[in-house]
């Protein structure tokens, strides 16, 4: 009888498990917090976004809690969650220093962050957070034109269900800098497909990176209420949540 050492079997099984073995979260119930506080412009799409994430949670083994107050941000409270989703939280989204420190420690201990649309619309008063996002919103093209989104990384959970060129309607954000080089760009928007863009030929619109010990994913899309009933956008959003929460593979080196 051929005897195979147990260590060889174990290594073979670990290899076969692939990304699931590395993340260890594929079949677990995730727990995510949707954060909606605004100290700047408040998007009327926020309630639709909350409902959409709750529906995704019901279908994909995620417990979803929502809060509109950063007063809940304590180390003990945040430690309950695999990811915190800043859903168009604007201005200085967490403005008390004790609460900022609690969120910083959460990320430093391996937590996950997902910024959606106006989560990058900050006031420059919390530099750590702006680096977590990857860039700061400065302006957007007029209106909500239809444009072409070019998927750069078609293997990530946030983009694998999308076409190479994704035509959609949204408010197209621009930023204080091009984050490429410090983040892993998932998708760009083609400025030749709409009027009013000023970032040029390389205009990142969704990206991810590791920051200060944790996981960060950001998508600038999601301005309209209609986004949160759009099949492809919901697939993009779900994948981004799973990446931030550690369920999906996080290949996000710049």
Residue 17 binned pLDDT confidence (cut-offs 50, 70, 90): very low
Residue 67 belongs to a domain: yes
Mean pLDDT confidence for 7-26 = 39
Chain centre distance of CA 183: 12
Residue 84 belongs to a domain: yes
**What CATH number does residue 230 fall under?**
3.40.50.880
Reported as a single tens digit per residue, the pLDDT across 131-140 is: 999 999 999 9
Residue 202 belongs to a domain: no
Output the 3-class SS for 53-67.
HHHHHHHCCEEEEEE
Count of the separate structural domains present in the chain: 1
Contact 107/126 with Cβ under 8 angstroms?
no
Domain with 100, as residue range(s), is: 27-138+207-245
Residue 187 belongs to a domain: no
Reported as a single tens digit per residue, the pLDDT across 48-95 is: 999 999 999 999 999 999 999 999 999 999 999 999 999 999 999 998
**pTM score, whole prediction:** 0.90
Cα–Cα distance, 240 to 166 (Å, whole number):
16
Contacting residues for 54 by C-beta, under 8 A, at least 6 apart: 64, 66
Residue 251 belongs to a domain: no
Contact 164/149 with Cβ under 8 angstroms?
no
Residue 18 binned pLDDT confidence (cut-offs 50, 70, 90): very low
Tell me: pLDDT of 8 over 90: no
Residue 228 belongs to a domain: yes
Residue 60 belongs to a domain: yes
Backbone conformation region of residue 140, classed left if phi is above 0, alpha if psi is from -120 to 50, else beta: beta
Cα–Cα distance, 23 to 215 (Å, whole number):
12
Contacting residues for 100 by C-beta, under 8 A, at least 6 apart: 94, 126, 128, 129
Residue 199 belongs to a domain: no
């Amino acid at each position: 009888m051929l005897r195979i050492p147990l260590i060889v079997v174990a290594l073979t099984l670990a290899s076969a498990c692939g990304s699931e073995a590395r993340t260890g979260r594929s079949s677990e119930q995730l727990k995510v917090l949707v954060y909606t506080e605004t100290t700047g412009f408040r998007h009327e799409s926020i309630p639709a976004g909350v409902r959409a994430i709750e529906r995704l949670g019901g279908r994909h083994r995620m417990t979803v809690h929502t809060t509109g107050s950063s007063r809940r941000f304590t180390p003990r409270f945040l430690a309950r969650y695999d990811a915190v989703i800043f859903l168009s939280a604007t201005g200085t989204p967490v403005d008390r220093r004790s609460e900022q420190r609690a969120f910083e420690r959460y990320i430093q201990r391996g937590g996950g962050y997902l910024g959606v649309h106006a989560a990058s619309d900050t006031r420059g008063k919390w530099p750590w957070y702006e680096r977590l996002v990857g860039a700061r919103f400065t302006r957007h093209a007029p209106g909500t034109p239809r444009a072409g989104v070019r998927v750069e990384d078609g293997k990530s959970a946030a983009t694998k269900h999308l076409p190479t060129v994704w035509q959609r309607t949204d408010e197209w954000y621009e930023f204080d800098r091009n984050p490429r080089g410090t983040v892993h760009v998932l998708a760009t928007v083609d400025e030749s497909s709409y009027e009013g863009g000023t970032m040029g030929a390389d205009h990142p619109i969704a990206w991810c990176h590791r920051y200060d010990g944790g996981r960060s994913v950001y998508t600038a899309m999601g301005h309209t209420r209609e986004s949160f009933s759009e099949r492809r956008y919901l697939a993009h959003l779900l994948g981004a949540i799973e990446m931030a929460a550690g369920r999906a593979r996080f290949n996000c080196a710049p």
